[in-house]
Amino acid sequence: MREPHTVVDPSLPDSVTIYEVGPRDGLQNEKAIIPVETKHQFIERLVDAGLPIIEATSFVHPKWVPQLADAADLMARLGEAGRNMPVLVPNERGLDRALELGCRHVAIFGSATETFAQRNLNRSLDEQFAMFEPTVKRAREHGLDVRAYVSMCFGDPWEGNVPIDQVVDVGKRLYELGASQLSLGDTIGVGTTGHVTALLDAFNAAGLADGVLAMHFHDTYGQALANAHTALQHGVTTFDASAGGLGGCPYAESATGNLATEDLVWMLHGLGIDTGVDLEKLVATSVWMADQLGRPSPSRVVQALA
């Protein structure tokens, strides 16, 4: 299979961590309910392709996200390996379900805007913290690692532009509940490179260094890879991506696919940056998954290599 011609940029890091969200952010937005056996196989193939972190599923209300209602069944099938895969938990009920199955990594997901907090969490912007605070506290008491997401960092479908100060306030509050990492989500994929730099500068000024930040781009406007490169140059070394560009969010209008893992890997390997990912196996996985879903992957790299 064709590989990119590697030209090292000495100003960039030697390695980057890819945080794979396809099984969660990808499949949560599929209209069809994917059989749990297929999800299990998808995750095993991602492991085999070398993805170091794979977010497996969500312990959210099954009525809110029926696509992931099989979370407990999936985790049981994944066994010991699954316990190291992060899962989303919005509240203490979700945490209880994750604890019962021995999960060691959970992620809370806050909103930078009032409207999305209401639509995604059934809480106001302020009320979301009252839901997350005891969840993170108990997770930490049980020795779990907690990631915090903040959504709508670059724009909101109902509110339009989102002030950078507001994003930093919410993100810092979520992080300070006891998270080890804060993932900044461009949920609807509207961000551009200058905005990425300004947001990262603002987080750095508020005391959150690039080392505790991850970037979570969606590719709605085709900006995800450019935005990732800008964040990489800034100093971020963890990037969320989804195999084959699957994904979206059922509660965010126009949140189409995530940055495709293959597109990110092609760029990083071209820059001589190690990811641990076997691109050939990953592309084969996305081609197989596209077959299961009955439509082609939107990833340009998958299309080019398949």
The residues annotated with a catalytic role in the active site are 249
State yes or no: residue 263 binds Mg ion (CB under 5 A): no
Nearer to Mg ion, 25 or 262 (CB): 25
Nearer Cβ to Mg ion (99/252): 252
Q: Is 179 exposed, middle or buried (0-12, 13-18, 19+ CB in 10 A)?
A: buried
242: tokens are 């989804």
Would you say 87 and 106 are in contact if contact means Cβ atoms under 8 Å apart?
Answer: yes
> Using CB under 5 A, which of 16, 20, 25, 46 touches Mg ion?
25
| CB nearer ligand HMG, residue 151 or residue 285 | 151
- Take residue 192 and report the two structure tokens written for it: 């551009």
Which parts of this chain interact with ligand HMG (CB under 6 A)? 25, 28, 58-61, 64-65, 90-91, 93-94, 97, 109, 120-122, 149, 151, 185, 187, 216, 249, 251
Is residue 258 a contact partner of residue 38, using CB atoms and an 8 Å limit?
A: no
Q: Which stretch binds Mg ion (CB under 5 A): 21-29, 72-80, 85-93, 161-169?
A: 21-29
Parallel/antiparallel/unpaired status of strands 213-217 and 181-186: parallel
Q: How far apart are the first and last CA of the chain?
A: 9
Binding partner of residue 90 among Mg ion, ligand HMG, none, CB cut-off 5 to 8 Å per kind: ligand HMG
185 by DSSP, 3-state: which? strand
By CB under 5 A, which span of 22-30, 100-108, 129-137, 280-288 interacts with Mg ion? 22-30
Cβ contact 23:54 at 8 Å: yes
The answer to whether 156 contacts Mg ion (rule: CB under 5 A) is no
| Shorter beta-carbon distance to ligand HMG: residue 58 or 285 | 58
Stretch that binds Mg ion, among 24-32, 45-53, 74-82, 104-112 (CB under 5 A): 24-32
Q: Which is nearer to ligand HMG, 184 or 284 (CB)?
A: 184
For the bound state, the minimum distance from the C-beta of residue 231 to ligand HMG, rounded and expressed in Å, comes to 15
Burial 128-137 (b: 16+ CB within 10 A, else e): bbebbeebbe
d(CA 70, CA 67): 8
- The CB-of-1 to Mg ion minimum distance in angstroms stands at 28
CB 148 within 8 A of CB 110: yes
Number of residues that bind Mg ion (CB under 5 A): 1
Instruction: Output the smallest distance, CB 38 to ligand HMG, in A.
Output: 20
Q: Does 262 bind Mg ion (CB under 5 A)?
A: no
Measured CA to CA, the distance from residue 210 to residue 111 in angstroms comes to 20
